[in-house]
Amino acid sequence: MSAADKKPHQYVPDSWPAPLRWLAKLSHGLAMLEGAGIAFCLATVIFLATWQFIERNLHGHHIWFFPVPRWIDGVIRHSVFMLGFLGGAYATYTGRHIRIDAVTRLVSTKKRIALRVLTTIAALFILTLLIQSAVGFYKLALEEAGEASQEGQIFTSARGAMIMIAGYTVIAFHFFVQVIIDLGWLFSKQAPPPHWIAEAHDEGAGLVDDEKAGAA
């Protein structure tokens, strides 16, 4: 596939119904925001951690430097937290999350998609439980919002819980779109593109086409 022919990972043909194309475009747009968020959080962590390191070392030698604000530890901690969720969401969109492919590589294209639909639905169920737990933690964190330890902090416990809720929700959305697209290819007479079927670490390799399987 040439560079000009490459499509976003969650891509559907123009001949598919408009709602499916809109879902794929929305998922792609979220992935672009996640990529920008990863870059921003990484830059924030590097800048603030460097500032804190320099200030503390110079202060130990009684040399004045721009003092770090009291909220810097919380921002660094939660930026790393956000990096994990943003990276997980982006990996889910691109299909590069952790997977076990010992079985799927031995079956035909249609069966591979069908197995992925089942495992993705199971992942969605687990994510639903995680979202419910995160909402429960958020409600508990709201009760502690007025504690003195959180005064002057940009990221309180409640806001940290909101990161969990948003992170799990976006990952679930990418999985949901993947299931919809997989079902579309299952019922479509068209052959899915190789990059949609290929496993994360070996794109385009080891595919078993239904036609080849039938010929064998």
For the chain, first and last CA: distance in Å?
26
pLDDT at 216 over 70: no
Which ranges in 61-199 belong to alpha helices (H)?
72-94, 109-143, 157-187, 194-197
pLDDT at 146 over 60: no
**The pLDDT of residue 212:** 44
More confident residue, 147 or 211: 147
Residues 6+ apart with CB under 8 A from 174: 10, 27, 30, 31, 89, 92, 93
The answer to whether the beta carbons of residues 176 and 124 sit under 8 Å apart is yes
pLDDT at 113 over 70: yes
More confident residue, 208 or 15: 15
**The pLDDT of residue 94:** 86
More confident residue, 99 or 144: 144
What mean pLDDT, rounded, does the chain reach?
A: 81
Spatial CA neighbour of 88 closest among 131, 47, 128, 38: 38
Type and span of the H or E element at 6: none
pTM: 0.81
Q: Convert the pLDDT of each residue in 164-204 to its tens digit.
A: 999 999 999 999 999 999 999 888 878 887 777 764 434 44
pLDDT at 87 over 80: yes
Q: What is the mean pLDDT of residues 72-90?
A: 90
More confident residue, 150 or 48: 48
Q: Convert the pLDDT of each residue in 32-77 to its tens digit.
A: 999 999 999 999 999 999 999 999 889 888 888 888 888 888 888 8
Q: What is the mean pLDDT of residues 149-169?
A: 80
| Upper half-sphere CA count for residue 182 (Cβ side, 13 Å) | 22
